[in-house]
Amino acid sequence: MSDTPPPIIDIQGLRTAFGKNVVHDNLSLQVRRGEILTIVGGSGTGKTVLLRQILGLGRPAAGQIRVFGQSVVDGRRAEVHALRQRWGMLFQGGALFSALTVFDNIAFPLRELRTLPPELINDVVSTRLSWVGLTPEDGLKMPSDLSGGMVKRVALARALALDPELVFLDEPTAGLDPTRSDEFVELIRRLHQQIGFTVVMVTHDLDTLFALSDRVAVLAEKRVIICAPPAEVLEFQHPFITTFFLGERGRRALDGAQEFAGKSHDGKP
Ligand SMILES: Nc1ncnc2c1ncn2[C@@H]1O[C@H](COP(=O)(O)OP(=O)(O)O)[C@@H](O)[C@H]1O
Ligand SMILES: [Mg+2]
């Protein structure tokens, strides 16, 4: 077992409470480098709070969270800040700056570094636009001119601006119609294969979940009750899993995913 690489995210014994409301209790989760890990759970089970904790934006009552081997709980402020250049976040709904052009939205994390010359910023933004299937002309548009699918693409381009090793996606396909949703899933899959970043995603959408996830972490009873490949999670006996996955929609999504998997989801760890 000594050659097992260390996890890129390591959460041990996490406890999160808001007053008397205990959201996480003795929660543990490890994310492996290069995988796509999906977090699911009922509404209010603490998925968003967990993402915020991993990003160092909330203080747990107990436990440890290490990202890239470094504590985001009791690490030095400057060190935690430096970690932010190694991850990218796609917020639910895109969260673009409405007063900035597409170009300036994508350039934002690059300009924040205050070290890159404008020519380099231009090059990086152009590359990111092409990564997500947008043109230089799209860079001139304002967020209000964009369709829902384009907003997600721009948000993804911005999340990838600093070429992060780790990407967080909060409900990446929420609000998209099925065709746009499939296209966005395909885009994430292709970029993940080409660039090799690690993905931690929250989604309610079973098509997205089955198309992308190497493993699924189920949040229930204030902790991760199972973290395993989708097929194994489906076998796990728990009322939430039965309701969430094995309804009519879940079975259809699984059938679709297995057909898909046979075609192009090989060679993954
Ligand atoms: N800043 C906060 N202050 C107090 N309670 C909060 C705060 N953020 C989240 N909560 C509570 O934590 C629980 C989990 O919230 P959240 O992580 O948003 O759930 P979800 O799994 O739906 O994303 C909820 O009960 C919510 O009310
Ligand atoms: Mg949430």
Q: What stretch of H or E contains 205?
A: none
Q: Is the CB of 115 under 6 A from ligand 1?
A: no
Write down the pLDDT at residue 82.
86
* Cα 201 to averaged position of ligand 1 atoms, centre (Å): 17
pTM above 0.85, yes or no: yes
Q: Is the CB of 7 under 6 A from ligand 1?
A: no
Write down the pLDDT at residue 252.
64
Q: Is the CB of 203 under 6 A from ligand 1?
A: no
Write down the pLDDT at residue 258.
59
* Cα 12 to averaged position of ligand 1 atoms, centre (Å): 20
Write down the pLDDT at residue 267.
39
* Cα 51 to averaged position of ligand 2 atoms, centre (Å): 9
85 and 52 in contact (C-beta within 8 Å)?
Answer: no
**Sign of torsion over alpha carbons 141, 169, 235, 225:** negative
Query: How far is the C-alpha of 15 from the C-alpha of 118, rounded, in Å?
Result: 44
Fold for domain 34-57+78-264?
Rossmann fold (3.40.50)
Write down the pLDDT at residue 269.
42
Domain regions of the chain by residue span: 34-57+78-264
Residue that is written with structure tokens 């969270």 in the block: 65
- Ligand number nearest to the C-alpha of 174: 2
Q: Which atom of ligand 1 is nearest to the CA of 50?
A: 17
- Ligand number nearest to the C-alpha of 40: 1
Longest CA pairwise span in the chain (Å): 55
Write down the pLDDT at residue 114.
81
Query: How far is the C-alpha of 177 from the C-alpha of 144, rounded, in Å?
Result: 18
Tens digit of pLDDT at every position of the chain (269 positions): 557 789 999 999 999 999 999 999 999 999 999 999 999 999 899 998 999 999 998 889 999 999 999 999 987 888 888 888 899 998 876 689 999 999 999 999 999 888 889 999 999 999 999 999 999 999 999 999 998 889 999 999 999 999 999 999 999 998 889 999 999 999 999 999 999 999 999 998 999 999 999 999 999 999 999 999 999 999 999 999 988 887 766 566 666 665 555 444 443 44
Q: Is the CB of 39 under 6 A from ligand 1?
A: no
Write down the pLDDT at residue 263.
43
